[in-house]
Every structure is written in C-alpha cells, then in structure tokens.
Amino acid sequence: MDNAVRKILNQYQKDAARTLNRDTENPLNNYLLGIMGEVGEVIDVIKKHLYHGHDLAKLPEEVGDCCWYLAAICTTAECGDLGGCWRLSSCRQRDLEALALDAWTGVNNIRLCFHCVLPGPAGRGDTLRTAVGYLLRVLSAMCEAAGGDFLRVLDANIEKLWRRYPEAFSAAASRGRATSGDPSASL
C-alpha cells in the first residue's frame, strides 16, 4: 500500500505543477506563506468542530490545498518528490485535536528549513523532505480520523485546479475568482 501511495503522491505533484505561479519573484516565500495559511485553515476547521459543534465538511478541501502547497514547495525547492518525502516520515494515528497541534509543528518545521538551514537544494536536503513528509502524514491521519480518504482528497484537489485553471495558473484568473464570489479563492 505504501508504494501505491507514493506513486499517487508523485503523480499528484506532477499534476499540481501545472498550476504553479511562475510569475513571482520569490515563489518559495509565496508557497511558504500559503502552506502556513492553509494549515491555519485546517486547524480552524478542527477547532470549530471540537469546540463549536461545526461539521468537518470543509476539512477535505483545506487538506487538499495544503497538499498543493507541499507539492509546490517540493517542486520549486527541487528537494525531490512527494512520494519520497512520504517515505521519510511517519505519524501516529491520534485524535483530531492532537493532529491539529502536530500540523502546526509540521508547518513550523518547514518554515525553519527556509530560514535556518543553508539556502539552496543541497542545504535543505533531507531536512525539508522529512518536514514535508511529516506534514503529509499528519494531513493523511487527519483525513482518516475524520472518516475521509486522503487519496480522494488529492483527486478532488486536482479536479478543482483543472476547473479553476484549465490552461495553467494565471494571476488574472486568480484575481477573477476572488472578485467573482468564489469562496475558495485561496490558491
């Protein structure tokens, strides 16, 4: 099963690369800020579920958005493929509250790779791959704990990207979504 997940993650990364924002001066900072924001949204969904009685309907989409940013980071930082990152890490199955806390630790580990490790792919190396893999595992465990299917989340995220950006990512298309009332205009 693990090899199958790795293959699916690698294909997901290739499919997600079609929508990378290639017209920005510092794409890694863009993706770092993006993953921080998306993990915050995942945590907010879980907090509202646990403490306010909300359902978890938004969790799969937010997890999918997190995965897109992880794929973007791996592709742009040239640190390998998502399947290889997945192989480097593990995560214990835990309750949603503990996983939400773990997710913030995971995104902080990725942030530290950008600001405390030597710049460039060689400097980040296994540290970044392990941090990405850990957060992937946490996101997968969240899906399971919420009764969902992580691999379906990946498929749904790619389908959403094809609808939003049938050709490729463009800033104009992104701005158009933001003004059109699309409630999920975060990518």
Angle formed at CA 124 by CA 105 and CA 138, multiple of 5 degrees: 30
Q: Most distant CA pair in the chain: distance in Å?
A: 46
Q: 147, 155 in Cβ contact below 8 A?
A: no
Lowest mean pLDDT among 15-24, 46-55, 77-86, 123-132: 123-132
Q: Residue 123 above 70 pLDDT?
A: no
Q: Is the pLDDT of residue 113 over 80?
A: yes
Question: What angle do the packed helices 150-164 and 2-17 form, to 10 degrees?
Answer: 10
Mean pLDDT, range 82-92, rounded to an integer: 85
